[in-house]
Chain A
C-alpha cells in the first residue's frame, strides 16, 4: 500500500460541516433560499474537492502492483496507554467511488430540495440537517480507521433520525424516527463488539495495528499465520457475522429491515438521499472496505448471501402489494440492497459497489420522481388515486420511465449491467450456488413486475383520484426537474462505467480480494445468465402489462384466488406486530416487573425495610426492659434465677 500525505482531502468533509453550522445558526430565522443555496454550494464544493483528489490519486506515481492511497493524519483523537486512535482520513479508489455518489447525487438532491422545501417554515433547519448528513457520510467513507468510520456510521444514523422525524408534530413521524435509530443501535451493538474483538485479536498476537484499515489489511496474512487455523477461523467467522449484523441494521436486511419503510415519514428528498442512495448502502461499503476479512470467512459469506437473497425476494413480494408510492420504493430499496449483499456474499465485492453506484442514480431518480408526482398532486401518495399522469407531467414521466427501466434491468440501462454481474457471480462466481442464483433471478423478475406495476398505475390508464384535483395537476418547477434529467442521464449511462473506467474500476479492490480465487467464468455461462436475466425482466414487464393495462381479468382472478395471501402481503407479513409481541412489549413489562419485584419489593421493602423493622423490634424490646414496672423486673429476675439453678444442677449432675 503506497501512502501519500495530502491534507487537502480534509476539505471534502469540511465544506458541508460549515454549511450545516451556518444553516443551523439561521434555523429560527425566516426561511429563505439563502440556506438552500449555501447548503447546495457546500456539497458542490466538496464534490469539486473530491474530484480534485481523484486527479491527485490517479496522477500519483506509485510502485507497480501497489494500491495508492492519499492519507491525511490529523491529530490523535483517543489515546490511552497503547491504544491510539487518530482522527485521520484516507482516500483510495473505493472512497472515490463512494464520494462521487455521495457528493454528486447529494448535490443534485440538495438542488431539488430547494424547490421541494421552499414553502416549509423549517427549511433552514432542513438544510442544516441535510448538510450535516453529507458531512457524516463523507467521514464514514473517508475514515482511515474503524472507529472514525463508526463516528460517521452513528452520525448518519443521527441525521436519519432527525430527518425522519423532521415533521415531528405528527406522533407517527416521531415514532418512525425513534424506530430507525433504535433498530440501527441493535446493529451498532454488534458492530462495536466486532470492533473490539478484532482489536483484541490483533493485539493478543502482538500486532499493534490499532484500528487502522491499512495496517489491519497488511497484517492480516501474518495474523492468520500466527494462529492455529481452526481457532482463527472461529474468531474471524464471529467477527464477520457481528459486522454483518451491524451492516444489516444500517442497510435494512432481514431481520433488521423494519425501520426503512417507516422511514418514508421523512421529506421525500431525504428518502432519496439517505434512505436510497447513500446511508443505507453504508453496510455494503463497510463489508467491502473490510473485504480482506470477509474473504477469509466462508461461513459469513454464506450467511450474507443467504440473507441478501432472502431479503431481495421477500421485500419484492411485499412491494407488490403496497399502495403508497414511497412505500413501494422503500421495499424496492430493501430488495436492491439484498442484491448488493448477494454480490458481497458471492465474493464479488466490485459488483456490489458497481450496483451500489448505479442503484444510487436510478433509485434517487425514482424517489425524486415520486416526490415530483406527490408535489404535483398536492401531497397525494396513494397510487390507487393516481393514473394517467404521463400527459400531465411529461418531464417527470420521462425520467421516471427511465428509472423504472434501469432498475428492472432492461437492456443497455445501468441496472442491466450491474445486476447482470451479480447474477453471473451468483451463478459462476467463487462462492456461487444454484439456490442463490435461482432466487436472485426470481427477485429480478419480481423487481421488473412491481416496478412496472407502479409505472402503469401512476402514469397510465385514467386518473382515479379526486376529480377536483385533476385540474390543478402541474409539472414541478425546473429546479426540481433538471436534477431529474441529470439523474436520468446517469441512470442510463453509468452502466457503461464511463466514470469508473478512468479509475480502473475493474481492478479496484484487487488487493482486498486476493484471498478469493479469481473467478473463471466461461463465455457460455455469461451469455446464458444474461439471456435468462433479460427473459426475467421482460417477463415482469409483460406480466405487469397484462395485469394492469390490457385487462383487469387476470388480476381479479389472482386476487380472488389468493385473497388470504394478499391480505398478509398488504400487512407486510405482520412482522411489525410480531416484533412488538416478542420484543418490544416484553422489554417494557420485564422492566416494570423487575422494578416492582427487585427494587421496590425485595431490596427496599425486605432488606432495607426489614433492617429498619428489626431495629425497631430490638428497640421496643429494649425499651420494654426499662419500663420501670417492678413486677417485670421481678419476674425477669425469677426467670434468670431459675435458668441459673438449672444450669448449676445440670453441671453438678454431670
Chain B
C-alpha cells in the first residue's frame, strides 16, 4: 500500500496529465447520455483531477529551488527529445488555476446544451493541453501543447458560440497562429544555436536556459518568442482578437479563455523570454514595461467606451494583463511575484465576472448595459456577488486584487516613477468603468418589465461562485500561502537583476531606468 502511494506521488504529474485526456475520450463517448447525467460524471471527474492537483500543492516543497515532481521519459531519442514534465512555484499555480476552474465551468453548463458530451469533453481536452503547456520541460513538448490548445478552444467558440462565432474563432486561431510561427522559428534557432555551441542536441528547457547566448542573438530570439506571448496575453496593439472571441464564446469558453489561456502568454515571458535571454530582457524591459503600462490606460479607456458587458470585461482584461506585463518586466522581486499573484487573481475575479455575465445572459438574453437597471431589488445575492467581484477586480484592499496590484506597482515604481504612475492610472479608471457598469445594471429603479420578473441565483449557481468568492477574501487577507511557494521561482527569475543602490546625487535621476550591471556589460 505504501508502495502504491509512493509510486503514485512519484508519478503524480503524469497522472495529473493523463486524467484529463482519459476524461476527454470518456465523456465524448457518452454524448448520447443527455445533459444532466453527463454533467454529473464530468463534475466528478473534474473534482478528482482537482484533488490530484491539490496533492501537487501539498507535496510541493517551497524550500527546494529545483523543478519538482520531475518526470522524464525518452520520446524521440534520436533527436534527444524527451517527454519531460515538472513544476516550479510558477507552473504549480497555473495548473491549480486550470484544475480549479474546470469543475466550476462544468457546474455552470446548462443542461440544455446541445451535444453536452462533446461540449464538456472539450474542456477536459483544454485542461490537458493547459496542464501540458505549464508543466512541459521540453521545448518541443511545450510547443506541441501550446498549439494543441488552439483546437479545443477553436471548437468551443466555433461550435457553441454566438452569432458571429465562426469569424471570431477564426480570428482567434489566426492571431495566435501568427505569433506561434515566430516562436517555432525561434525554437529551431535556439536549439541549433545550442547544438553548435555545446556539441550536443538538447531540447530541455532548463539546459537551454542555463546556456549563454550572445547579446545580438538574444535580442532577435527575445522578440521571436515574445511576439507569440504578446499575442496571447494580449498586449496592445495585438489585443483585438480578445473582445471578439469573448463576445462570441459560450460562458465556459470565456471563463477558461480569460482565467487560464491568457496566462500562457505571461507564463511564456517568465519561463522563456526572461530566463533564456536575460540580457535582451533587461535591454527591452523599458519598452515592454511601457507597452504594459500603456495597455493599462488604453484597456481601461476601451472598457469605459463599451456598452456590451462582456466586451467591457474583455477590455478590462487587456488592462489587467498590461499591468501584469509591466510588473514582470520591472524585473524586481516584488513586481514579478506581484504579477504571478495577479495572474491567479485575474483568473479568479475575471473568471467569476464571466460566470456572472453568463448567469444574467441566460435569463435575459442580452448583455447591453442599457437593457438593465435596478435589478438588485430582485437579485440581492447576485448583485452582492457581482459587487464583491467588481471590487476584487478594481483592487480594493482586503480582497485579492489589491495584493497583486500593490506588489506590481511597488516593482514598477522602483524602476520608473512615470511608468508607475501610468500603471496606477487603472486605479482611477478601473473604478470609473466598473462602478458605472454596476450602477447601470443593478441600481436605480426597475424601468423594464422584463427585469421585474428576474429570479435570483439558484443553488447551483451559488455553488459555482462560492469557491471563487471565498478565494477573493482568502488571498486578500492571507496571500502568504501563495507567496511562500513562488518565492524560489521568483528568485531564480530576478536573480540577475539587482536593485541598484546608487550613492549620492545619482539617486536623484529617478526617472531613469536604472537597470543593473547586466545591461551595461552587454558583451
Report if A and B associate in a common complex.
yes
Query: How far is B478's CA from A251's CA once the two chains are assembled, in angstroms?
Result: 30
Assess whether A169 is interfacial by the CB under 8 Å rule.
yes
Task: Knowing A189-B425, A196-B410, A603-B240 are in contact, say whether A587-B432 is a contact too (CB < 8 A).
Answer: yes
The A-contacting residues of B in range 473-523, CB under 8 angstroms, are 477-480, 483, 490-491, 494, 499, 501-502, 504-505, 507-508, 510
Produce 1/0 per residue, A194-232, CB < 8 A to B: 001101100111100000000000000000000110010
Produce 1/0 per residue, A55-81, CB < 8 A to B: 000000000000000000001111111
Query: Closest Cβ of chain B: how far from A30's Cβ, in Å?
Result: 15
Assess whether A471 is interfacial by the CB under 8 Å rule.
no
Contacts of A189 in B (CB 8 A): 424-425, 427-428
Query: Closest Cβ of chain B: how far from A26's Cβ, in Å?
Result: 13
Q: From B109-117, B158-166, B296-304, give the one contacting chain A.
A: B296-304
Assess whether A2 is interfacial by the CB under 8 Å rule.
no
Contacts of B145 in A (CB 8 A): none
Evaluate contact between B490 and A81: CB separation under 8 angstroms: yes
B334's contact among A83, A154, A155, by CB below 8 Å, is which? A83
Assess whether A462 is interfacial by the CB under 8 Å rule.
no
Task: Knowing A78-B403, A189-B425 are in contact, say whether A178-B483 is a contact too (CB < 8 A).
Answer: no
Assess whether A580 is interfacial by the CB under 8 Å rule.
no
Contacts of B406 in A (CB 8 A): 78, 147
Assess whether B398 is interfacial by the CB under 8 Å rule.
yes
Evaluate contact between B424 and A595: CB separation under 8 angstroms: no
A174's contact among B243, B338, B439, by CB below 8 Å, is which? B439
Produce 1/0 per residue, A163-195, CB < 8 A to B: 001001111001100100110011011001100
Query: Closest Cβ of chain B: how far from A210's Cβ, in Å?
Result: 11
Most buried by A among B377, B427, B442, B491: B427
Secondary structure class of chain A's binding surface, majority of residues: helix
B480's contact among A75, A192, A197, A587, by CB below 8 Å, is which? A75
Assess whether B436 is interfacial by the CB under 8 Å rule.
yes
Secondary structure class of chain B's binding surface, majority of residues: helix
Produce 1/0 per residue, A560-600, CB < 8 A to B: 00000000000000000000000000011011101100110
Assess whether B41 is interfacial by the CB under 8 Å rule.
no
Query: Closest Cβ of chain B: how far from A574's Cβ, in Å?
Result: 22
Assess whether B134 is interfacial by the CB under 8 Å rule.
no
Contacts of A231 in B (CB 8 A): 505, 507-508
Evaluate contact between A178 and B420: CB separation under 8 angstroms: no
Instruction: Look across to chain B and name the residue whose beta carbon is closest to the beta carbon of A27.
Output: B380
Task: Knowing A151-B398, A227-B507 are in contact, say whether A81-B444 is a contact too (CB < 8 A).
Answer: no
The A-contacting residues of B in range 193-244, CB under 8 angstroms, are 237, 240, 243
Assess whether A512 is interfacial by the CB under 8 Å rule.
no
The A-contacting residues of B in range 103-123, CB under 8 angstroms, are none
Query: Closest Cβ of chain A: how far from B226's Cβ, in Å?
Result: 19
Query: How far is B232's CA from A410's CA once the two chains are assembled, in angstroms?
Result: 68
Query: Closest Cβ of chain A: how far from B507's Cβ, in Å?
Result: 5
Evaluate contact between B428 and A80: CB separation under 8 angstroms: no
Task: Knowing A185-B428, A594-B301 are in contact, say whether A178-B435 is a contact too (CB < 8 A).
Answer: yes
B409's contact among A185, A196, A235, by CB below 8 Å, is which? A196
Instruction: Look across to chain A and name the residue whose beta carbon is closest to the beta carbon of B244.
Output: A604
The A-contacting residues of B in range 332-346, CB under 8 angstroms, are 332-334, 336-338
Evaluate contact between B391 and A193: CB separation under 8 angstroms: no
Evaluate contact between A83 and B505: CB separation under 8 angstroms: no
Instruction: Look across to chain B and name the residue whose beta carbon is closest to the beta carbon of A201.
Output: B507
Assess whether B457 is interfacial by the CB under 8 Å rule.
no
Contacts of B480 in A (CB 8 A): 75-77, 79
Evaluate contact between B410 and A603: CB separation under 8 angstroms: no
B445's contact among A147, A171, A182, A185, by CB below 8 Å, is which? A171
Task: Knowing A78-B479, A193-B420 are in contact, say whether A83-B445 is a contact too (CB < 8 A).
Answer: no
Instruction: Look across to chain A and name the residue whose beta carbon is closest to the beta carbon of B415.
Output: A200
Contacts of A591 in B (CB 8 A): 301-302, 304-305
Assess whether B414 is interfacial by the CB under 8 Å rule.
yes
Query: Closest Cβ of chain B: how far from A56's Cβ, in Å?
Result: 27
Contacts of A604 in B (CB 8 A): 240
Query: Closest Cβ of chain B: how far from A16's Cβ, in Å?
Result: 14
Assess whether A608 is interfacial by the CB under 8 Å rule.
yes
Query: Closest Cβ of chain B: how far from A50's Cβ, in Å?
Result: 22
Query: How far is B377's CA from A497's CA once the two chains are assembled, in angstroms?
Result: 48
Task: Knowing A150-B397, A189-B424 are in contact, say whether A77-B479 is a contact too (CB < 8 A).
Answer: yes
Query: Closest Cβ of chain B: how far from A69's Cβ, in Å?
Result: 23
Assess whether B55 is interfacial by the CB under 8 Å rule.
no
Produce 1/0 per residue, B375-402, CB < 8 A to A: 0110010000000000100001110001
Evaluate contact between A588 and B333: CB separation under 8 angstroms: no
B443's contact among A174, A188, A603, A608, by CB below 8 Å, is which? A174
Task: Knowing A175-B439, A204-B502, A599-B302 are in contact, say whether A80-B397 is a contact too (CB < 8 A).
Answer: no
Evaluate contact between A193 and B436: CB separation under 8 angstroms: no
Evaluate contact between A193 and B413: CB separation under 8 angstroms: yes
Query: Closest Cβ of chain B: how far from A140's Cβ, in Å?
Result: 11
Assess whether B374 is interfacial by the CB under 8 Å rule.
yes
User: Can you list 6 A-B pairs with a CB-CB distance of less than 8 A?
Assistant: A80-B483, A168-B442, A199-B413, A588-B305, A595-B306, A603-B237
Interface residues of B (CB under 8 A from A): 171, 237, 240, 243, 298, 301-302, 304-306, 332-334, 336-338, 374, 376-377, 380, 391, 396-398, 402-403, 406-407, 409-410, 413-414, 417, 420-421, 424-425, 427-429, 431-432, 435-436, 439, 442-445, 477-480, 483, 490-491, 494, 499, 501-502, 504-505, 507-508, 510
Interface residues of A (CB under 8 A from B): 28, 75-83, 147, 150-151, 154-155, 158, 161, 165, 168-171, 174-175, 178, 181-182, 185-186, 188-189, 192-193, 196-197, 199-200, 203-206, 227-228, 231, 234-235, 587-588, 590-592, 594-595, 598-599, 603-604, 608
